[in-house]
Amino acid sequence: MSGRILALDVGDRRIGIAVSDATQMIATPHSVYTRVGWGPDVKHIAQIFREQEAVLIVCGLPRNMDGSLGFQAEKVAAFAQQLERAGLPVQFQDERLSTVSAHQALIEGGMRRDDRKGTVDKVAAAVILQTYLDTKHSVSCRQA
């Protein structure tokens, strides 16, 4: 499957969005969407999906450190179901520590705390997507 992949870091208030290049090698932060409600949220994601000519959505799945699924994971799964009902293909990627990694990258880049607030969600989505892409390419290399 070739084409862009969209990644979502779904939170209660915001959704961080990232997109891959067409070769599915590099993840890039795209935007941060402030949530309104399931209908408008799905509509907004579907619009970006079409604009980017994406072939897949990868949702970060927040697992507990022991690997179990908690309450937030259930909310993400419910949102993913809404995306699937709208005809969008969805897969999940473990997102443990993605936000921590995003914060660390922004700090190392010298970004001030106030500026990080509006950026961290889309960077976390890019971390989730890059992990997905790296894992996918690692598996395909081993199979070749």
Q: Which CATH architecture has domain 4-143?
A: 2-Layer Sandwich (3.30)
Convert the pLDDT of each residue in 50-80 to its tens digit.
999 999 999 999 876 677 777 888 999 999 9
β-strands 4-10, 27-34: how paired? unpaired
C-alpha of 104 from chain center: 17
- Evaluate whether 84 touches 57 at the Cβ level (below 8 Å): no
Per-residue pLDDT tens for 116-142? 566 678 988 999 999 999 988 766 555
pLDDT computed for residue 2 by the predictor: 82
Instruction: Say if residue 88's pLDDT is above 90.
Output: yes
Domain ranges of the chain: 4-143
Tokens of 114: 């106030």
Answer positive or negative: Cα dihedral of 81, 76, 64, 119: positive
Residue 25 CA neighbour count, 13 Å, CB half: 1
Widest CA span in the chain: 46
